[in-house]
Amino acid sequence: MISSAAATSSTRSAARLSGRTEAVRRDVGEPAGGASRLLAASFCYQDQLFNQEIRELNAAGLLAWRQRFRERFDQIATRYPPRTEIDLVALADMAATLVEGGLILGRALRDVPCCPSRSCSNRDFVRTVFLPG
């Protein structure tokens, strides 16, 4: 028999999953086959695997990457002002996301060159933001 606490926890997890699934659909659309539901479910499950200390360490690591990329983009922007208004924190987060995502794609697809090619694409994008037209 399931305890009351376990049932409550399952209900909360299901509610979070439903909310996250809707957020994915709203932000990126619904891919063929309902893949956003699978993605949201994996995020919920992944988050439950770690305790608070690990989540805090993970957040600290991501914030360190943000700061590192932001400092680099600040240096670039000083020398080459952006051609369009851009949020350098968002750009720094995008760079960190591409590194992390490239590693995940490479591992999932067994395509080791995947990560460097994504990094090169990001470099090309950054050049289009900062280099004069």
Contacts of 21 (CB under 8 A, 6+ apart): 36, 37, 40, 41
pLDDT band at 6 (very low <50, low <70, confident <90, very high): very low
Residue 65 CB-density burial (10 A; 0-12 exposed, 13-18 middle, 19+ buried): middle
pLDDT for position 4: 52
47-70 residue pLDDT tens? 677 788 888 888 899 999 999 999
Contacts of 20 (CB under 8 A, 6+ apart): 40, 43, 44
CATH superfamily ID and name for 51-133: Tetracycline Repressor, domain 2 (1.10.357.10)
What is the reported pTM?
0.64
Kindly list the domain boundaries of the chain, sorted by start residue.
1-49, 51-133
Q: Which of 87, 89, 97, 88 is CA-nearest to residue 122?
A: 97
Question: Which residue reads 């720094």 in tokens?
Answer: 92
